[in-house]
Amino acid sequence: MQPLTIAPRERLIVALDLPSVAAAEAMIARLGDSVIFYKIGYQLAYAGGLTLVRQLADAGKKVFVDLKLHDIGNTVARGVESVASLGATFLTVHAYPQTMKAAVEGRAGSGLKILAVTVLTSYDDGDLHAAGYRLGVSDLVEARAQQAQLLGVDGLVCSPEEAASLRKIVGHQMNLVTPGVRPAGTAAGDQKRIMTPARAIAAGADYLVVGRPVLEAADPNAAAEAIIAEIAQAAI
């Protein structure tokens, strides 16, 4: 299968990691037509931010709901149905077989795509061992990516460093979505394994999730446009 052709502007997902709906609305207004895709995670979702999903979808934007679901199958499937009814485009779940199977069932017939989080990037082999796992990070990421593909999951969240090897495993059938992206010259913050937008695209990422380099820029709109220009250049 051929690589997806996605417009460069749509490949930037701005993480609305902000404390209130008002702060998020102010940032969305500043970013205007420059940004098409937004991510809503724990901080904003639990501060009333899920109301923005429908609002943004109605305004022609796309929304990635990053709630990393994991529960018994019935609860996951019904929760996924509710997120789908809000008009979201992407939703994350943890990459456990039961959870992924239920999520795929819950999104049936909707426009929602399920992204699996294989192993959280804050985990190393020692953390997995302490949590009772037999496999190390790279083996578990690979096993879960294969399971996700078999179960019909639409994409994976991965670090830019994992993108190239996961692309080899899952081909071009799945979307690879990578956080940990930093334009040259911006602060890494707490991200340890970072890549520039151009390198992440070259490594095989379909979508880049970027928070602080846009949110904390003196001119967020200009910061977003610079990332989109870099994506367009790398995708040629």
Q: Which residue ranges make up the site for ligand C5P (CB under 6 A)?
A: 15, 17, 41, 121, 157, 179-180, 189, 191, 209-212
Per-state percent for the chain, helix, strand, coil, to nearest 5: 50, 15, 35
Q: What's the closest the beta carbon of residue 92 comes to ligand C5P, in angstroms?
A: 8
CB of 201 to ligand C5P, least distance (A): 16
- Least Å distance, CB 176 to ligand C5P, is 12
* CB-based burial label for 53 (10 Å; 0-12, 13-18, 19+): buried
- Closer by beta carbon to ligand C5P, 77 or else 170: 170
Nearer to ligand C5P, 73 or 183 (CB): 183
Count of CB atoms situated within 10 Å of the CB of 212: 17
78 vs 193 by CB, closer to ligand C5P: 193
The nearest distance, CB 74 to ligand C5P, in angstroms, is 26
Kindly list the distances between the CA atom of residue 75 and the CA atoms of 71, 89, 231, in Å, as whole numbers in the listed order: 6, 20, 38
Kindly state the tokens that stand for 20.
């209130």
Looking at 39, 61, 62, 68, which residue is catalytic? 68
Which of 77/155 has CB closer to ligand C5P? Answer: 155
Residue 226 Rama label (left phi>0; alpha psi -120 to 50; beta)? alpha
CA distance 98 to 73: 6
Active site residue 61: no
State both tokens at 113: 């795509």
Between 53 and 77, CB nearer to ligand C5P: 53
Shortest Å distance, C-beta 1 to ligand C5P: 26
* Residue 168 burial class via C-beta count within 10 angstroms: exposed 0-12, middle 13-18, buried 19 and up: exposed
Residue 20 carries which DSSP code? Answer: S
Element (H, E) at 157: strand 155-157
Cα separation of 18 and 15, whole Å?
A: 9
**Residues with a known catalytic role:** 68
